[in-house]
Amino acid sequence: MEQQTSGQPWWLLTVYGGMISLIGILLFRFLEGGQPSIGYWIGALMMVSGGCALWFGVASLRSERIGSWLILAGLISTALGVAMLVYADGSVRSFTDLIGYWALLFTFLQTGQAMYSYLGPGFGLDYLGKLIHVLLAILSGVLAFTLIMWPESPGNPLKLIGLLPVAMGGLLIALTLRLRNKDKLAMSAS
């Protein structure tokens, strides 16, 4: 019996989550000294992650209801990645504000996805998937609030803020694996 596949490029979402985690790791170094080269890397990774989300969103638009959310996430990440490349050699504050604005927009998207997963049709009893969406919305909201509203001061614990994108990337990868397994089950049932 030949196994059917959905043709979804799930590896793109795994790369998307991995890039978000890598951005968090680079934030540790950037917030220590504000080196422009690290800022350029963060901007480039943000553009690549946006491209992965955009590519998956366009590829899944025909068959999945998550395509439009990922197209928006991809456009936001790509646009802010370009802005980060422009502001990488500026002040640390303006660069962290950009990351905060990205996190704020990510929060809005994740909140919309969380509401859709709770209220939308066809999601069944996937409580773990719903919980992951809610956790992503909370983590990105904390990241946005902390980066935008935290006052600059000596001894500022912003260095630890890199943990939030690392956790967000891990949750995105877990959600991707969950969606991929759910897709495989649906394909094997049909």
User: Domain extents for the chain?
Assistant: 10-149+162-180
- Contact (CB, 8 A) for 103 and 83: no
Q: What angle do CA 5, 10, 13 make, to 5 degrees?
A: 165
The percentage of residues in the chain with a pLDDT greater than 90, rounded to a whole number, is 39
- Contact (CB, 8 A) for 84 and 42: yes
Q: What radius of gyration do the chain's Cα atoms show?
A: 17
Listed residue (56, 71, 181, 50) closest to 128, CA to CA: 181
- Segment 111-165, tens digit of pLDDT: 887 787 677 665 566 778 888 888 999 999 998 988 888 766 555 566 678 899 9
pTM: 0.85
- Give the residue with greater pLDDT, 47 vs 3: 47
Q: Residues of 130-140 as b/e, b for ≥16 C-beta within 10 angstroms?
A: eebbbbbbebb
Listed range (1-5, 127-131, 178-182) with the worst mean pLDDT: 1-5
CATH topology assigned to domain 10-149+162-180:
1.25.40
